[in-house]
Amino acid sequence: MAAWVMLLGMITLINVMLANRFSEVSRHVVSNDFGVGMDKIFIGERSWARLSAQQQELFTRTFNEMHEEGLVQRPMRSKQEDIARWRAANGQNSVVDLDQAELERIMEPLARRLVTEVFGPGAYEQIKNA
């Protein structure tokens, strides 16, 4: 899985943090495997239906080619390189590794509050149980 990092209350991919030079303004990150960060393609059913069969096939083929060429695998392979770059910039102890269950326990109150503020009471449980 790709390395995501939490920095000063921000959660994002470590390669994004490195590209934007966050290692110059923050010494420590928390590293954990939240999943793979990749661009998603969304299209409404009505919009999809308006495309010709040739256009639909082109979209589908392009997505499949991107996936086969490592859209998912590349970030997974680069995790250790990115972590090493962060450590090189900020020292051996600058990356804090947390157990997934421990990180979920720590973040749960904030996640619950944010989801409730945006989607209303009961939404957190509904999302978590989906």
- Residue 98 binned pLDDT confidence (cut-offs 50, 70, 90): confident
User: Model confidence over 46-80: pLDDT tens digits?
Assistant: 999 999 999 999 988 887 777 665 555 666 667 78
Distance CA 21, CA 55 (A): 39
